[in-house]
Amino acid sequence: MRLLLTRPTCPTTKALIYESFLTRGPVAQHFLLSAAARTLSVKAIARMSDAEATAAFRAVRFAESGGRPVCPYCAFDAIYEYRQRAIFKCKRCEKQFSLTSGTPFHSRKMPIGDILLAIFVFTTDANGSAALRLGRYINCSYKTAFVLFHKLREAVQNHRDKPMLTGEVEIDGAVVGGFIRPKNVSKERTDLRKIPYRSKKQQSVVVLRQRGGETRTAVLAHESHALPFILANIAETATVYTDGASHWHILSGYFELRQINHKVAYSTPEACTNGAENYFSILRRSECGIYHRIAGKHLAAYAAEFTWRVDSRRLDNGTRYKSLLALAARPGRSKLRNYWHPKRLAAPA
């Protein structure tokens, strides 16, 4: 067995590395760098014909009926299928419907192949994908790409299974939004850390992350308001880990509580919240490098997106693509329909 080195090293260093290689084996590789993480390519999606894309979406859309169309209005499975047009007609209620009727893509104008490509782009990028970039990929406007991505976030937010969290659960919160640009002159600047509520646009994202399990989030005015959300999602038998904030002390009356003072250490053998902190590190990286602004009314959708990304980080991209497609093809119209319509934009908030 030989040890390949990029540059010659001193004999002592080479001997130590060689000994480590023999005793511990090859250096562990990150999952995203391995071939197992790549089971589907953009080439395979982009080269699908319209018939192949339609067949792929149909198999997922009507998976429970074995691919047979089911009426989205009366749930009847006796359907007429038109040969010249890609539509169906129910024998009971006699209503016509398409493959995407009753789904988040209801009344679509975009080809199904472009929708599948958008889902693949959404699942493949590790820290999120910008709508402007998707518009360049599939040749659509920014508004179309924006709504399409938000429909995928809405599907993740509404259709994921949400069992109670058990075992060891980490809890943490972070403030998002409400950024105030510092003054140019140093004498006019204010230490924003000393102002707890400096903007009405500030919101707190509270994350519950089960070790080896799922992740949940909620958007609240302040993380101290998270008690009802925590009690609704964590089983009584769970062990809860938090930081040393005083508003988490109340959890000791409901769970076995273990806290860590971050002024002393970030983690100890007794307690740590590194899993929850990892969620926020991914959220911050995406905010700075991809989305640039995730605050406001869509913050809950962005937070739900990253729960899905964190929970599926150890799955290959083909499996992630299929899971998101299954969520997006479930019945239920999107609230973002006609999102950019002038009448909707002019309506009072």
Q: Encode pLDDT of 154-165 as tens digits.
A: 999 988 888 899
Q: Which amino acid is at 170?
A: E
pLDDT recorded at residue 189: 81
H helices of the chain, in order, are 11-24, 42-46, 50-61, 112-124, 131-138, 142-159, 227-233, 274-286, 299-311, 317-328, 342-346
78-109 burial code (b ≥16 CB/10 A, e <16): ebeeeeeeeebebeeeeeebbbbbbbbbbebe
Q: Encode pLDDT of 296-314 as tens digits.
A: 889 999 999 999 999 998 8
pLDDT recorded at residue 178: 72
Q: Would you say 178 and 199 are in contact if contact means Cβ atoms under 8 Å apart?
A: yes
List average pLDDT for each run of 10 residues in the chain, which is 349 residues long: 46 55 62 88 94 94 92 92 90 93 91 96 90 94 94 91 91 85 82 63 91 93 93 95 93 94 88 93 90 86 94 92 94 86 62
168-178+190-312, CATH topology level: Nucleotidyltransferase; domain 5 (3.30.420)
pLDDT recorded at residue 86: 86
Which run of H or E residues covers position 90? Answer: strand 87-90
pLDDT recorded at residue 123: 93
SS3 197: coil
Query: Could you give phi then psi for residue 23, rounded to 5 degrees?
Result: -85, -40
pLDDT recorded at residue 1: 41
pLDDT recorded at residue 207: 96
User: Positive or negative, the Cα torsion across 189, 191, 192, 196?
Assistant: negative
Domain residue spans of the chain: 168-178+190-312
Q: In 3D, which of 271, 219, 278, 218 has the Cα closest to residue 240? A: 271
First to last CA, the chain: 69
